[in-house]
Amino acid sequence: MIIYPELKGRVAIVTGASLGIGAAIARAFGSQGCSVAVNYRRHAPEAESLTSAIVSAGGRAKAYACDVADTAQVQQMVDSVRADFGGLDILVNNAGINRDGVTWKMTEEQWDAVIDTNLKGCFNFVRAVAPLFREKKSGRVVNMTSINGMRGKFGQLNYSASKAGIIGLTKTLARELGASNVNVNAVAPGLIETDMVATMPEEAKAKSMAETVLGRLGTPDDVAAVVLFLCSNGARHITGEVIKVDGGQYI
CA separation, residue 59 to residues 79, 87, 111 (Å): 21, 16, 38
User: Whose CA is closest to 243, among 174, 182, 180, 189?
Assistant: 189
Identified catalytic residue from 4, 40, 64, 159: 159
Distance CA 207, CA 135 (A): 47
From first CA to last CA, the distance across the chain in angstroms is: 27
User: Whose CA is closest to 174, among 122, 241, 95, 118?
Assistant: 241
| HSE value, Cβ hemisphere, 13 Å, CA-based, for 169 | 26
Whether 159 is catalytic: yes
CA separation, residue 112 to residues 74, 158, 165 (Å): 18, 8, 14
Q: What are phi and psi of 143, to 5 degrees?
A: -105, 135
The set of catalytic residues is: 159
